[in-house]
Amino acid sequence: MNFEFSEEQLALKDEVRKFLAAKCPPDSVRALMAEGSPGIDRALWAQIAEQGWLGAAIPEEYGGLGLGYLELCCISEELGRAVAPIPFASTVYFFAEAILRAGSDAQKAVCLPKIVAGELIGAMASSEQPGPISVAKINAEVSGGKLNGTKLPVTDGSHADTAIVLAKEGGTPTQYLVDLNGPGVTRTAIETLDRSRDAARIEFNDAPAERLGGVGEGLALFEAINDRAAVLLAFEQLGGADMCLEMAKAYALDRYAFGRQIGAYQAIKHRLADMYTGNVLARGNAYYGAWALNSDAPELPVAAAGARISASEAYWFASKENIQIHGGMGYTWEVDCHLHYRRSRQLSLVAGSPRVWKNRLVTMLEKRNAA
């Protein structure tokens, strides 16, 4: 039993942290959140690609580094900490994972090297209306290789080159690859809570669609991809939650009120202790998820649910209490608290809300009890 990252993995994490501190300071994230901003830092994206990190877990035969998911988790944690405004999650956790899992040899050969090179931004288009995804709520339809329907929100949809679209063919849910730069695609950027990430409404009118995986396998594949993405997103959430705690800690030591550092008052101190506690629990659950993902363990769905629920709770708590501890300053545009508050909402919702994951988790536990 060894429940820790290796020295090499921690060294990679450190390298990513230093890189992002230089290339992705909070001020550059804030600048990207101005009205009319594209919600993507193209220069950072190119530099990340240059480092090879987009292909950390992509096999060498497709141009990736072929390291593994533990290394990818280390990168994810740092991206979350920096609130990086790039389509890393959409492209790597969702798109590349879906191709690796369900793509044909040809699809892998076309997409994966481009992803590694930073030449293909991917997106996942599943949602169409409020509430969780279900078969009944998928109206997008493919017939004769042409897709019709509307997806909203599609994270990073304005910038993505290719999307994986959940649609029905002959009434059964199936996944498709759609070239977003091709015919029949109309995209509109939509304002969201997290302006550091783009989201779009995409209309498909007879857009050419290429099947990914088997007919009728759409929902199963959707869940399998979400399981994998959930673990990686949990590391982003963890990085963000730890950053919130560090910010709150630093402020509580700097700020004086009533003649003392505010960190000396138990009302503040105990809140910090609760933030720490939430983060420790989230880290434990995320590590279990990382192990399950990396070793392709049968425990992955349970581990992913635990990682996602725990990390979503921790980041939400840490990001909101970070604002509270900063007082009035925490509510200003210039202080970084809101970057995390916003990102925590984006990350908790993008692969399905905690409510849905809790329900899934208990369904799995019921099966365990029945066994």
| Distance of alpha carbon 288 from alpha carbon 299, whole angstroms | 9
Which range of residues in 77-85, 136-144, 338-346, 355-363 is near other proteins by CB under 8 A? Answer: 355-363
Query: Does residue 2 belong to the site contacting other proteins (CB under 8 A)?
Result: yes
Q: Examine residue 222 and tell whether it contacts other proteins (CB under 8 A).
A: no
Segment contacting other proteins by CB under 8 A, of 24-32, 161-169, 170-178, 246-254: 246-254
Is 70 among the residues that bind other proteins (CB under 8 A)? yes
Q: In this structure, are strands 122-125 and 162-169 parallel, antiparallel, or unpaired? A: parallel
- Site residues for other proteins, 8-67, by CB under 8 A, read none
- Asked whether the beta carbons of 317 and 280 are under 8 A apart, the reply is no
Name 192's bridge partners: none
142: region left, alpha or beta (phi > 0 left; psi from -120 to 50 alpha)? beta
Environment class of residue 50 by beta-carbon count within 10 Å: exposed (0-12), middle (13-18) or buried (19+)?
exposed
Q: Is 353 one of the binding residues for other proteins (CB under 8 A)?
A: no
Piece in contact with other proteins (CB under 8 A), picked from 52-60, 164-172, 264-272, 334-342: 264-272
Q: Is 359 in the site for other proteins (CB under 8 A)?
A: yes
* Residue-level length of the chain: 371
Please select the residue that binds other proteins; options are 260, 327, 329, 331, rule is CB under 8 A: 260
Piece of the chain touching other proteins by CB under 8 A; list 176-184, 187-195, 343-351, 358-366: 358-366
186 binds other proteins per the rule CB under 8 A: no
186, containing H or E segment: strand 185-189
3-class SS letters over 220-258: HHHHHHHHHHHHHHHHHHHHHHHHHHHHHHHHHHHCEEC
d(CA 282, CA 96): 25
CA distance 308 to 315: 11
* Residue 73 backbone zone (phi > 0: left; psi -120 to 50: alpha; other: beta): alpha
Shortest Cβ distance from residue 294 to other proteins (Å)? Answer: 7
Residue 264, interface with other proteins (CB under 8 A)? yes
287 binds other proteins per the rule CB under 8 A: yes
Burial letters for 294-330: b for 16+ Cβ neighbours within 10 Å, e otherwise?
beeeeebbbbbbbbbbbbbbbbbbbbbbbbebbeeeb
119 belongs to the binding site for other proteins (CB under 8 A): no
Site stretch for other proteins (CB under 8 A), options 24-32, 144-152, 280-288, 327-335: 280-288
Report how far residue 236's alpha carbon sits from residue 80's, in angstroms, rounded to the nearest whole number. 4
356 binds other proteins (CB under 8 A): no
DSSP structure string for 113-180: HHHHHT---EEEE---SSS---GGG---EEETTEEEEEEEEEETTTT-SEEEEEEEETTEEEEEEEET
Judged by beta carbon, residue 60 or residue 366, the one nearer other proteins is 366
Q: Which is nearer to other proteins, 290 or 339 (CB)?
A: 290
Residue 88 in contact with other proteins, rule: CB under 8 A? no
Q: Is 306 in the site for other proteins (CB under 8 A)?
A: yes
- Report CA Rg, the chain: 20
Nearest distance from C-beta of residue 314 to other proteins, angstroms: 9
**Nearer Cβ to other proteins, position 11 or 362?**
362
Binder to other proteins among 266, 296, 328, 334 (CB under 8 A)? 266
Contact call for residue 252 and other proteins (CB under 8 A)? yes
Strand 146-155 relative to strand 141-143: parallel, antiparallel, unpaired? antiparallel
C-beta closer to other proteins: residue 42 or 367: 367
Which of 46, 257, 273, 329 is in the footprint of other proteins by CB under 8 A? 273
288 binds other proteins (CB under 8 A): yes
- Which residues in this chain contact other proteins in the complex, by CB under 8 A? 1-6, 70, 245, 249, 252-253, 260-261, 263-264, 266, 268-270, 272-274, 276-277, 280-285, 287-288, 290-292, 294-295, 297, 305-306, 309-310, 313, 355, 357-359, 361-362, 365-366, 368-369
